[in-house]
Amino acid sequence: MLILSDILLFLTAALVFSVTCLVILLRVRVADALTTDFLRVLVPLSLQMLLSLLATYLERSLSPRQLASFSYTMYALGATIISILLTTAMLFAFTRFFIGRLPASEKQKRLGNIILRLLIILFFLISIWAILGKSRGDWIKALDETMKYHFFSASTFLVIHAVVALFFIKQASTWEEEWLLKGVAMTFLPLVVLFPLDILFFLHLSFKVVYLSFAILSVHLYFFISRRYFLTYEQPALPKVNLTERFGITEREQEILRLLADGLSNQEIAKQLFISVNTVKTHIKNIYAKLEVNNRLQLFNLMKDRDSNASS
């Protein structure tokens, strides 16, 4: 079980770190606010996972004499403090990001921010007292308890986020809101089941099953930002040809094509054009048939190709 725990911890940390690096590359490419918000969550999360991996490796590889040395004791103190700060920073960043994108009123968002931030501050103070205060100078013990229990306990806050996300999903008006809310709910609601599993089988091990939720969250955020990047920055312009004459595209269908190229969802298009979602779907189906494509990706590729041909 110990070896399995170490392997799972390594794989989870590697996945979270890899996703963080990919989002950093996107941040360098597009430099927008959303990728910055994602990195505020992913950077402390990946550093926390890497710190857990380092602490586990040193505990396994160093001799008893080295583990009892002054330098290791100081490392244990520093790692304990850094771990508590990273976990707190991750919770603050995720709360800020999550509340900011809820389809709620400004008053509800302010109230949600205040309540969750007060809970996180309370958790931080309790952590300082329970880990540093009660250790009475035994920093190696403090580090061991931090790695095994602190980040695991902090995950309980994310169940609150999942419940809130589930409540607001039906109020989502854009694909971004719906995607994020569903992702948060599906990622963190299972913690209700995973917590008992960790208590029964992984409580005294470095790896916890709840860590898989953070790996899933990282992948979900990456796919979200990749889709948004494609829709926002890699969308082709409408082809410079007469669609009405060449393909029989109506003026209304051209309107919908332009909105699709802007990255709008069916619901957003319906709202902007004051038509029903079913009508939008019918128009899109007709567009696909006339242009002989089956999905939006094929449609965008076709538009891009024809735009290139028209330009040349």
pLDDT digits (tens, 9 = 90+) for 113-159: 999 999 999 999 999 998 988 888 899 999 988 988 888 888 888 89
**What was the pLDDT predicted at 240?**
46
82 touches 52 (CB < 8 A): no
Q: Report, as an integer, the average pLDDT of 206-218.
A: 84
- The C-alpha atoms of residue 186 and residue 216 are separated, in whole angstroms, by 9
**Radius of gyration of the CA atoms of the chain, in A:** 24
- The C-alpha atoms of residue 173 and residue 169 are separated, in whole angstroms, by 9
Give pTM, 2 decimals: 0.74
- The C-alpha atoms of residue 37 and residue 162 are separated, in whole angstroms, by 19
* Options 1.10.10.10, 3.10.28.10, 3.30.420.40, 3.10.20.30; CATH of 243-311: 1.10.10.10
Q: What is the CATH number that goes with domain 2-233?
A: 1.20.1070
**DSSP conformational letter for 170:** G
- pLDDT tens string 27-66: 887 777 778 888 999 999 999 999 999 998 998 899 999 9
**165-179, 209-223, 247-261, 292-306, range with the lowest pLDDT:** 292-306
- The C-alpha atoms of residue 97 and residue 169 are separated, in whole angstroms, by 16
- The C-alpha atoms of residue 287 and residue 284 are separated, in whole angstroms, by 5
Note whether 2-233 and 243-311 share their fold. Answer: no
- The C-alpha atoms of residue 85 and residue 89 are separated, in whole angstroms, by 6
Domain boundaries along the sequence of the chain: 2-233, 243-311
- The C-alpha atoms of residue 174 and residue 260 are separated, in whole angstroms, by 13
The overall average pLDDT reported for the chain is 84
